[in-house]
Structure formats: structure tokens, C-alpha cells
A and B are shown apart, each in its own frame.
Chain A
Amino acid sequence: EVQLVQSGAEVKKPGESLKISCKGSVYSFTGYWIGWVRQMPGKGLEWMGIIYPGDSDTRYSPSFQGQVTISADKSISTAYLQWSSLKASDTAMYYCARLPPGINLVQGIDSWGQGTLVTVSS
């Protein structure tokens, strides 16, 4: 069974930096896209962006372009989501997810990580 294991919950102050991770296993990490999805408290799902670990091709949602950085280290089958300066409004659950490649670049999400809760508060 495909596994996406995310790093643990984080509590940070505004202005601090943060990098959370998502480790894939039991499948070919370089053969699938990894995406990140935000869920703010009590709200719906928002797609942030995707990366193809095989060649590091990265695409961002316009809403998140410039706000976060998505990266991957294929040698350890791990993808990352990074902030350089957190805001209180970044408080949310963040999910990584696997997306098979498709005719239109990707197919829909077929597996999800367990989520990483990020709390930003002074």
C-alpha cells in the first residue's frame, strides 16, 4: 500500500521560517507528482502546487505562487513545503498527496498523507 508520511505538528511565531516534509514509500517516488493541499480551520480544500520529483518540474497555484516553495529530494523520496516568513493566516492543516501523471499533465489525487498541522501565533 502506498504510504505518504508527513512530519509532525509545528507551532511557530509570525515571521519565522518553516519546512515540512512528506516521505513517500511503497511506490516509485520519481514516477508520480506530489502535491500540497491546504485546509484552513473549518474550511475546504485548496490546491497549492505540485512537483514531479523525477525532474523537479514544479507548478504553483496562482494563489500560492511566491508565498511558499515546493521542493523534493528524490534520493530520500521526500517532498517539502517551505515558508520563509510565516503569517498567522498560514495556520492550517497541510496535506501532501500523490498524483499519477496524465494526459493533461496529472490525474487526480489517488493517495493522501496524514496531514501536518501548522499553527502560527505570537
Chain B
Amino acid sequence: DIQMTQSPSSLSASVGDRVTITCQASQDISNYLNWYQQKPGKAPKLLIYDASSLETGVPSRFSGSGSGTDFTFTISSLQTEDIATYYCQQYDNLPLTFGGGTKVEIK
């Protein structure tokens, strides 16, 4: 199985701050990586697909980059509505695997 190591597990930042989350795969997954946002009590929502493509309707302050084994997810200017847990997921190989999640809070 491909292991996805996501860090940090939680972070606290101020409104307007730049927030960065990393995800490392245990082997090369090319760009077969998605990022999801899960707000409390809600289903996850796709934000970024193919490592760096923004899903339709998602604000442009969200972005993704990387390929191979190292990936980055960025919120360029944190907003109060971005309070959520964020997950990466690889789809290079079955079983599909998720990172452990990053809980983002407002300082």
C-alpha cells in the first residue's frame, strides 16, 4: 500500500495568513493526488485534483503543487470559512489511501 504522510496534523493561523500543508507519498505517484476539505459535521469536498488543478467553483486562494512523492496545498489568505480538516488522497494505485488530515483553526 502507498502511505501518505500529511503534515502538520493541526495548525492555528490568523485570518489573512498564508497556510501550507504538505503530503508525502511513500512512492512515486506522478500527479495522481487530490485534496479535500471537510468542515465539521459535513461530507468532504473536492478542492484540487491531479495535484494542481482547481475544481470548478473553488476559490482561487486554494492551490496545489507537486509531483512524484512531494506535494503542497496552500491557502493564500486564510478566511474564517476555511476552518476545516484537509486531506490528501492518492489514486495512483489501489488501495486508494488518504493522508491523516490537517485540522486548520483560526488563531
Contact = CB atoms under 8 A, between A and B. Distances in A.
A113 interface: yes
> Size class of A's contact patch?
20 to 34
The dominant DSSP class at the B interface is: loop
Nearest to A114: B43
Interface string B44-77: 1110010000010000000000000000000000
A112 B45 contact: yes
A108 B89 contact: yes
A46 B75 CA distance: 25
A104 to B, nearest CB: 6
Interface in A28-60: 35, 44-47, 50, 59
Nearest to B30: A104
Per CB-CB distance, the 8 closest pairs between chain A and chain B, nearest first, are A108-B34, A61-B95, A112-B43, A47-B96, A108-B91, A45-B98, A44-B101, A44-B100
8 contacts: A44-B87, A46-B98, A47-B97, A61-B94, A61-B95, A104-B93, A108-B46, A108-B49
